[in-house]
Amino acid sequence: MENAKNQITFKGTADGLVIIIPEEMETKHILEQVALKVKAAEKFFRGAKLKVMYRGKKLTEEEEEMLVQMMILNSGVTVESIRYDEPEQPPQEREMPSKISGMPIRKIFFKELEEGPCKFIKGTVRGGTRILFEGNVVVLGDVNPGSEIVASGNVVIMGKIRGMVHAGADGNRNAVVAALRLCPTQLRIADLITRCPETDDDDTILPEIASVKEGAIYVEPLGK
């Protein structure tokens, strides 16, 4: 098995994807690892539109183009842009902590979401918006107050929930709601309803998952 230091790492952000590339990695190995990673998560990436940023090894324009094509060919994702993150210029995107950007969150996204159709929504869901979907819903952004998301499957928010979310709307108590910050006005799973404790309205990232246990909705840290 290769040393972890020689492995490419993917991290999600509110707007897209961050790829961390080891400084000494050869181009062919970069492309091979990227292809394997996106192909393994094809059902998550397919149909999504992402902005890609990468860190570590600086690629040439030709290598960047090859990386983008490798992602498209192996997953069906649409790459809107790619750029190198200069070390002295911290990114503006809210980055998921490393603790949840590995297997725990990937298991939720990739294992749960492949069980049915999935609707991807890029950007913030604004107040007054109501989204209904027979399947899973993934929002690549925040869910603002006054908005409502109703899904028969799981709901995954790559941002902050401050609106109303209803997962398992057809009665499925196995559905879950996961987010980088859970502050919904109301949270429902199947026929159960709860409200999360009021917290300061800031941008602190507290990744959590809500699920049904013993007939009630429990909220716990993501990856616990």
CATH number of the domain where residue 51 is located: 3.30.750.50
Q: Which pLDDT score, from 0 to 100, does residue 5 have?
A: 61
- Tell me, yes or no, whether 73 and 107 share the same domain: no
Number of C-beta neighbours around residue 1 at 10 A: 4
Q: Kindly tell me the sign of the dihedral angle through the C-alpha atoms of 152, 142, 215, 102.
A: positive
CA 86 to chain centroid: 23
Residues 207 and 158 in one domain: yes
Residues 145, 203 share a domain: yes
Specify the pTM: 0.53
Look at residue 90 and tell me if it is in a domain.
no
Residue 98, domain member (yes or no): no
Q: Where are the beta strands (DSSP E) in 22-123?
A: 49-56, 78-84, 118-122
Give the separation between CA 102 and CA 9, rounded to whole angstroms.
8
Q: Is the dihedral of CA 35, 44, 163, 199 positive or negative?
A: negative
> Mind listing the pLDDT tens digit of every residue in the chain (224 residues)?
445 567 898 887 766 788 999 999 999 899 999 988 888 877 777 778 888 999 999 999 889 988 988 888 888 888 889 999 876 544 444 444 444 444 444 444 444 454 567 888 888 899 999 999 988 888 888 899 999 999 999 998 888 899 999 999 999 999 999 888 888 999 999 999 998 766 555 556 677 889 999 999 999 887 55
111 located within any domain:
yes
Q: Looking at the structure, do residues 70 and 127 belong to the same domain, yes or no?
A: no
pLDDT at position 122? 80
3-state secondary structure of 186: strand
Read off φ and ψ for residue 144, nearest 5 degrees. Answer: -80, 160
213 plus 123 within the same structural domain: yes
Residue numbers of the domain that contains 171 = 103-221
Task: Mention every residue, 6+ apart, whose C-beta is less than 8 A from residue 30.
Answer: 8, 21, 57, 59, 63, 67
Instruction: Read off the tokens for 96.
Output: 């998921």
In this prediction, residue 117 carries a pLDDT of 77
Structural domain includes residue 23? yes
The domain spanning residue 116 has which CATH number?
Answer: 2.160.20.70
pLDDT of 75 reads 84
pLDDT at 2: 47
Q: Is residue 110 part of a domain?
A: yes
